[in-house]
């Protein structure tokens, strides 16, 4: 049946296909516009907290750490890893919170924590404390980021679980695309707001006005909490629920009965070994750290036969995306630095926040359009084509700093992202059994955690070597840096092509089967 549906667009003329796409667009977006009030509460939080505040922070964090906290590029990259990697790692453990306490409570707690984190971060740069590595400002920043890590780790799985709860089979595809697109709209708005606030705050918050931007993000997050709680009343949530996602009492009791002591002991041993390594800098401690971590993971999974990581094909599917996902990480780890330094003294360099956030506004418009046009396409085929289209433009930047090449990279990379990223998130949510949507979303994001951590560890070194600060007087060699990054990104589409016969058809059938029987399961 699925093969027949995929062949229909191939037999249609271009005008017929265009007409059909427009008709589907109107029908689908009409369904989303008429969606429950609760879904729009999620969308508001998505724009402000996940989009504007979070991605706005990522764009300016590097400059803030370098100039306001006085850290090196290498150490700034490590802080980025702590924030972005910790955020995704936290989802692995906090992803199921919304399944247990409900979307409304989980959303309130997560936004409250994020607001508290922004408040502490804003204070760190306002209290005129000593700066530098291991300084009071440094530790205050770490505390702020830790609070935001917990909040964000709970927020994103809650958002996607909420979309599943407040949409049906007909509106879910565009519902997921909209939540992704609106997040990117918020990121683009940050690119407009940040330069204006930063330049107007330079006198009040020297040397660069960034603390002023942080205070604005703090205020916006607090306002969002109030607005979302006003929209998402208990009655609204009950009336808006189209798909039941919460665990039953029996499911919670069964999960609580699973023994966890050995897993906890192994995890604590891994943390202790890593702490000893950090104190002694002896690389031999990597061995017990890795061994204890693997034992903790093994003990955790062996007691959970239905855990997503027990599925080898699904696990391969999500982990093989790491190479191409490094380009996402470079959107804040490298692109803002690259634009600020390689285009120093130009309009582009002076407004690096705006040009770093062109990608999000393109995603805002492209995601829903691509979702409708490819709603019947094979998921696996879309992953191959999308990751390939995303990876190849990286080689444009290997030509050298050039405004046209920068724009071409951003546009084409964004097209590829719009083709595969929302479909991947939708796939992970759709195959999740009842009561496990948050868990599956968290697990699907675990490779993204590794991507952020790994990329953050080496990106600072690459910047210092190939794209140093202009005031150092060293030569730029960004061509080599981007060529290497392009080769890394190509690994994903090539591996997906090679593994197509092994997992491609099964992945598509599982997503389709889950979608068509969602009402029976819920």
Query: If DSSP states are collapsed to H, E and C, what string results for 211-230?
Result: HHHHHHHHHHHHHHHHHHHH
Q: Please check whether residues 404 and 350 belong to one and the same domain.
A: yes
Domain span including residue 377: 304-513
Q: What is the CATH number of the domain that holds 230?
A: 1.20.1250.20
- Predicted local confidence at residue 170, as pLDDT: 66
Q: Please check whether residues 298 and 376 belong to one and the same domain.
A: no
Q: Please check whether residues 40 and 86 belong to one and the same domain.
A: yes
CA–CA distances in Å: residue 255 to residues 152, 249, 261, 303, 304: 24, 10, 14, 10, 9
Kindly state whether residue 320 falls inside one of the protein's structural domains.
yes
Kindly state whether residue 505 falls inside one of the protein's structural domains.
yes
- Predicted local confidence at residue 217, as pLDDT: 94
- Predicted local confidence at residue 171, as pLDDT: 65
Kindly state whether residue 495 falls inside one of the protein's structural domains.
yes
Q: Please check whether residues 292 and 308 belong to one and the same domain.
A: no
Q: What is the pLDDT along the chain (522 residues), one digit of tens a residue?
A: 333 333 333 444 445 545 655 665 565 455 556 667 777 788 788 888 888 898 889 888 888 888 888 888 878 877 877 887 777 777 767 777 777 788 888 888 999 999 999 999 999 888 888 888 888 988 999 999 999 989 988 888 888 788 777 776 666 666 776 776 778 788 888 888 888 898 888 888 888 888 999 999 999 999 999 988 888 877 777 765 655 555 444 444 444 444 566 677 777 777 777 667 666 666 676 677 777 777 776 666 666 666 667 667 778 888 889 999 999 889 888 998 899 889 988 888 888 888 888 888 887 777 767 777 776 777 778 889 999 999 999 999 999 999 999 999 999 999 998 888 877 866 676 666 666 666 677 677 778 777 877 887 788 889 989 998 887 778 889 999 999 999 999 999 999 999 888 775 665 565 555 443 333 333
- Which of 274, 303, 332 is where one domain is finished? 303
Residue matched to tokens 């890394």: 488
- Per the structure, the count of domains in the chain is 3
Q: Please check whether residues 402 and 497 belong to one and the same domain.
A: yes
Q: Please check whether residues 166 and 284 belong to one and the same domain.
A: no
Kindly state whether residue 20 falls inside one of the protein's structural domains.
no
CA distance 93 to 435: 15
- Predicted local confidence at residue 389, as pLDDT: 95
Kindly state whether residue 110 falls inside one of the protein's structural domains.
yes
173: which 2 tokens?
Answer: 């595809």
Kindly state whether residue 276 falls inside one of the protein's structural domains.
yes
| Residue 4: exposure state from Cβ atoms within 10 A (0-12, 13-18, ≥19) | exposed
- Predicted local confidence at residue 431, as pLDDT: 65
Q: Please check whether residues 433 and 337 belong to one and the same domain.
A: yes
CA distance 410 to 395: 12
**What pTM did the predictor assign?**
0.68
Kindly state whether residue 179 falls inside one of the protein's structural domains.
yes
Q: Please check whether residues 213 and 261 belong to one and the same domain.
A: no
Q: Please check whether residues 87 and 121 belong to one and the same domain.
A: yes
Q: Please check whether residues 71 and 153 belong to one and the same domain.
A: yes
- Predicted local confidence at residue 55, as pLDDT: 87
Kindly state whether residue 182 falls inside one of the protein's structural domains.
yes
Q: What's the CA dihedral at 340, 342, 346, 347 to 10 degrees?
A: -50
- Predicted local confidence at residue 58, as pLDDT: 86
Q: Please check whether residues 149 and 268 belong to one and the same domain.
A: no
Q: Please check whether residues 104 and 229 belong to one and the same domain.
A: yes
Instruction: Return the closest-CA partner of residue 333 out of 463, 429, 471.
Output: 463
- Predicted local confidence at residue 148, as pLDDT: 92
């Amino acid at each position: 049946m699925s093969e027949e549906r995929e062949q229909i667009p191939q037999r249609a003329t271009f005008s017929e296909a265009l007409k059909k796409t427009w008709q589907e667009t109107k029908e689908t977006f009409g369904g989303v516009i008429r969606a429950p009030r609760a879904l729009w509460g999620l969308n508001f939080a998505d724009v402000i907290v996940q989009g504007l505040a979070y991605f706005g922070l990522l764009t300016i964090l590097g400059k803030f750490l370098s100039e306001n906290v006085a850290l090196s590029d290498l150490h700034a990259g490590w802080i980025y890893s702590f924030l972005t990697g910790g955020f995704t790692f936290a989802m692995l453990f906090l992803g199921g919170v919304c399944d247990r306490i409900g979307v409304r409570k989980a959303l309130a707690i997560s936004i409250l924590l994020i607001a508290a984190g922004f408040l502490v971060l804003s204070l760190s740069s306002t209290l005129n404390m000593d700066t530098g590595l291991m300084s009071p400002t440094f530790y205050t920043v770490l505390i702020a980021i830790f609070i935001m890590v917990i909040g964000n780790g709970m927020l994103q799985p809650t958002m996607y679980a909420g979309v599943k709860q407040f949409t049906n089979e007909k509106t879910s595809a565009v519902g997921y695309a909209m939540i992704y697109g609106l997040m990117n709209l918020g990121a683009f708005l940050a690119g407009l707001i940040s330069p204006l606030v930063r330049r107007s705050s330079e006198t009040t918050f020297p040397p660069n006005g960034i603390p002023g931007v942080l205070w604005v993000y703090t205020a916006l997050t607090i306002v969002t909490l109030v607005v979302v709680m006003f929209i998402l009343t208990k009655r609204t949530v009950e009336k808006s629920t189209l798909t039941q996602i919460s665990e039953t009492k029996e499911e919670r009791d069964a999960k609580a009965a699973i023994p966890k002591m050995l897993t906890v002991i192994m995890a604590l041993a891994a943390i202790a070994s890593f702490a000893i390594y950090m104190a002694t800098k002896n690389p031999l401690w990597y061995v017990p750290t890795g061994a204890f971590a693997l034992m903790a993971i093994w003990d955790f999974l062996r007691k959970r036969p239905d855990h997503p990581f027990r599925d080898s094909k699904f696990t391969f599917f999500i982990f093989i995306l790491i190479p191409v996902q490094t380009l996402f990480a470079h959107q804040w780890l490298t692109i803002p630095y690259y634009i600020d330094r390689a285009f120093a003294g130009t309009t582009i360099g002076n407004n690096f926040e705006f040009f770093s956030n062109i990608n999000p506004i393109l995603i805002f418009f492209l995601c829903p359009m691509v979702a409708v046009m490819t709603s019947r396409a094979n998921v696996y085929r879309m992953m191959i084509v999308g990751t390939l289209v995303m990876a190849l433009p990286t080689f444009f930047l290997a030509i050298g700093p050039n405004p046209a090449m920068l724009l071409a990279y951003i546009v084409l990379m964004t097209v590829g992202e719009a083709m595969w990223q929302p479909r991947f998130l939708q796939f992970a949510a759709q195959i999740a059994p009842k009561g496990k949507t948050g868990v599956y979303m968290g697990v699907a994001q675990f490779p993204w955690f590794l991507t952020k951590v790994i990329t953050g560890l080496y990106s600072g070194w690459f910047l210092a070597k190939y794209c140093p600060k202009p005031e150092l007087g060293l030569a730029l060699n960004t061509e080599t840096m981007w060529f290497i990054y392009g080769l890394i990104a190509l690994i994903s589409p090539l591996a997906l092509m090679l593994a197509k016969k092994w997992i491609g058809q099964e992945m598509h059938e599982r997503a389709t089967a889950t979608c068509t029987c969602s009402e029976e399961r819920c």
